[in-house]
Amino acid sequence: MAEILDGAWVRRQIFDELKPRVGRLAGAGRPPGLAVVLVGDDPASAIYVRNKQKACADLGIYSEKLTPPASIGTDELLALIDGLNRRDEIDGILVQMPLPKHIDSRRILEAVDPGKDADGFHPSNVGNLVAGRPAPRACTPAGVMDMLHRYKIPIAGKRAVVAGRSDIVGKPMALLLLHADATVTVCHSKTVNLAEECSRADLLVAAIGRPAMFDARYIKPGAVVVDVGMNRVDRREDVERIFRGRADRLAAFDKKGSVLVGDVDPIDVADRASAYTPVPGGVGVLTVTMLMANTVGLAERRR
């Protein structure tokens, strides 16, 4: 039977390790400080920000939420970021994405002080990742690596396939695996014979954003499968097709009108993989966890 890689178990371990570090910083003068900038009133973004603030409260990290209106311009938002860069009690800055279309997102992300870049998205920190130098790492890939290490899943010498090439997940994931001595192939929606490429992987990371796309054809028997996808499915026929007789998931759909589904077929992965991350309950909970770890690390470096 495949081993389920439990994100909540990993999160508890990381939080237990972070709490004394936060306590030492607070005892030396003040706790770490995280500022989250939430532009406008996108409901999904608001939920993410609430989860981040709750994690800060659980750890004793000072958090501050700034909520400029959706009508704010790029120059005004740049001025707000500049103010946060100058504030000594703020160790980490996160700009919640996506921003309204009229705002130049690249200019905003590049305006964050690299020494306060809690998301690890600044070009300077991406460069540090490429060079293997210490710096905050993109949270989701960093969480995946932490999970693999804590479950003692071997990476060195393994054939890893990362399906997805986003700046937030795919590219940093590939670099982190490369630094861990995996042989890495990066695939994407334009890859020829994608299923064939994925089926060679000892370690498959699925991050393309299509519900249950990676079925048995994509999964090598005995592979470790990391599902980064978070897709909301709101048609009953799709839920029936994906979960094939799972009464609990159909009941959840009937109650809520939708269910979360990863990029990996949940039935096939349980049959073929040696270990895998479920959705929900796998990688998703680690993104905020690693944001906390980045914030604490930034505070320690700034002291």
CB 73 within 8 A of CB 102: yes
Query: Considering the domain boundaries, does residue 130 fall inside one?
Result: no
Active site residues: 52, 96, 119
| Domain co-membership, 242 together with 189 | yes
Give the predicted TM-score (pTM) of the model: 0.94
Strand partners, 161: 185, 204
| Domain co-membership, 191 together with 107 | no
| Domain co-membership, 33 together with 105 | yes
Query: Considering the domain boundaries, does residue 303 fall inside one?
Result: no
| Domain co-membership, 63 together with 101 | yes
What CATH code is carried by the domain that includes residue 87? 3.40.50.10860
**Is residue 34's pLDDT more than 90?**
yes
- Between CA 135 and CA 175 the distance in angstroms is 14
Query: Considering the domain boundaries, does residue 163 fall inside one?
Result: yes
Residue with tokens 């990362």: 162
Look at phi and psi of residue 104 and say left if phi exceeds 0, alpha if psi is from -120 to 50, else beta.
Answer: beta
Query: Considering the domain boundaries, does residue 23 fall inside one?
Result: no
| Domain co-membership, 143 together with 274 | yes
| Domain co-membership, 149 together with 267 | yes
- Between CA 160 and CA 233 the distance in angstroms is 28
Query: Considering the domain boundaries, does residue 18 fall inside one?
Result: no
Question: What integer pLDDT is reported at residue 261 of this predicted model?
Answer: 95
Segment 159-172 shows an average pLDDT of 96
pLDDT digits (tens, 9 = 90+) for 108-158: 999 999 999 999 999 999 999 999 999 999 999 999 999 999 999 999 999
First to last CA, the chain: 47
- CB count in 10 Å sphere of residue 299: 25
| Domain co-membership, 146 together with 98 | no
| Domain co-membership, 216 together with 256 | yes
Query: Considering the domain boundaries, does residue 2 fall inside one?
Result: no
| Domain co-membership, 184 together with 263 | yes
**Is residue 61's pLDDT more than 80?**
yes
Query: Considering the domain boundaries, does residue 250 fall inside one?
Result: yes
Residue range(s) defining the domain that contains residue 79: 29-113
pLDDT digits (tens, 9 = 90+) for 216-259: 999 999 999 999 999 999 999 999 999 987 888 888 898 999 99
Q: What are phi and psi of 296, to 5 degrees?
A: -65, -40
Quote the tokens at residue 196: 């064939």
DSSP strand pairing (259-261 vs 231-233): antiparallel
Closest by CA position to 34, among listed 66, 62, 67, 14: 62
- Between CA 140 and CA 221 the distance in angstroms is 25
Q: Which of residues 113, 131, 156 is at a domain's end?
A: 113
DSSP 23-90: HHHHHTT---EEEEE--S--HHHHHHHHHHHHHHHHHT-EEEEE---TT--HHHHHHHHHHHHH-TT-
Share of the chain above pLDDT 70, in %: 100
| Domain co-membership, 67 together with 184 | no
Query: Considering the domain boundaries, does residue 122 fall inside one?
Result: no
| Domain co-membership, 144 together with 280 | yes
pLDDT digits (tens, 9 = 90+) for 191-208: 999 999 999 999 999 999
E strand or H helix that includes residue 259: strand 259-261
Across the beta sheet with 203-206, the strand order is 3-4, 275-276, 224-227, 203-206, 159-163, 183-187
Question: What integer pLDDT is reported at residue 303 of this predicted model?
Answer: 86
- Between CA 142 and CA 139 the distance in angstroms is 5
Counted domains in the chain? 2
What CATH code is carried by the domain that includes residue 268? 3.40.50.720
| Domain co-membership, 202 together with 155 | yes
Question: What integer pLDDT is reported at residue 174 of this predicted model?
Answer: 98
